Structure 1
Amino acid sequence: MILDRICVYCKEELKGRSDKKFCDAQCKSAYQYQQTKQQPERFFNKVDNQLRRNRKILKDYNKGGKVTVREAVLLSEGFDPNFFTHFWKNQKGEVYLFVYEYGFRKIKENRNNKYVLVLWQEYMSKR
């Protein structure tokens, strides 16, 4: 009994072992990538991706250690203020949210929503 064996990914005829599913490593890798893309994104991946995106955006806009940026600018880049790693409260009671070493605090200035961006400092870890 001869079985027609074809590659699961590219549909080419297979030669070799009887249990072979792919014609080469590239087809196997491409098939696994395709299968992964079809599965819904896991919660952990969504959170991790957004944290990395937020960190990159804050890093790109905070070149001087402390800067003010319009909210619309950050949001247009994909920034989501609901994703942060920790917070810090200063002596005035103002709360800064941090994405790793980059912090932000929402303010209203001249009827415009803005974010004050800061960089984590050593004195912030002292209680």
Structure 2
Amino acid sequence: MRRKQKYCLACEQELQGRSDKKFCDPYCKSAWHYRKMQEDNYSFYARVDKQLKTNRRLLKTYNKAGKATVRANTLIQQGFNPDFFTHYWKNKNADVYLFVYEFGFLTRIENGRKKYVLVTWQAYMERSKNP
């Protein structure tokens, strides 16, 4: 019976030895499993990180003065997703501002249109206690 020629899953060198061998040495085995784990976990992390970066960039672009109001559709059409944020702050009126790092937004309905009130994180927000 002739043995099929097999190659290492990590470095693709020809394998010597047992017929069920998958890796040429422990280093290749470890490297292959590490890469596989990174690929499996990276996709979720990469998607979240990319969306947070997009959201932050858009909030920063439309909020040059520290406070601004913009139509929700304007941001959403450019890739903004309000479901991705890093933290929140609640003011005395119980309005909840969602923040992407130092740039925040509050959802408002004005004249039947959904808008975002854009703000920048301020020192007094740190001192206040959220319920």
Please report the TM-score for the alignment, with normalisation by the length of structure 2: 0.66
Q: Deviation digits for residues 8-31 of structure 1, max 9, x if unmatched?
A: xxxxxxxxxxx7xxxxxxxxxxxx
SS at structure 2 position matched to 1:42 = helix
SS at structure 2 position matched to 1:108 = strand
Q: Which residue of 2 aligns with 1:83?
A: 84
Please report the TM-score for the alignment, with normalisation by the length of structure 1: 0.68
Q: Where does structure 1 differ by over 6 angstroms across 4 or more consecutive aligned residues?
A: none
Q: Which residue of 2 aligns with 1:43?
A: 44
Q: Which residue of 2 aligns with 1:93?
A: 94
Return the alpha-carbon distance in structure 1 between the equivalents of residues 72 and 53 of structure 2: 18
Query: Alpha-carbon deviation of 1:87?
Result: 0.1
Matches within 5 A, 1:1-127: 42-126=43-127, 127=129
Q: Match for 1:64: what amino acid?
A: A
SS at structure 1 position matched to 2:93 = coil
Query: Alpha-carbon deviation of 1:105?
Result: 0.7
Give unpaired runs (5+ residues) of structure 1. 1-18, 20-38
The alignment covers a number of residue pairs equal to 90
Return the alpha-carbon distance in structure 1 between the equivalents of residues 122 and 69 of structure 2: 17
Question: Superposition RMSD on alpha carbons, in Å?
Answer: 1.4
Q: Match for 2:116: what amino acid?
A: Y
Query: Alpha-carbon deviation of 1:117?
Result: 0.2
Q: Match for 1:112: what amino acid?
A: R
Return the alpha-carbon distance in structure 1 between the equivalents of residues 58 and 47 of structure 2: 17
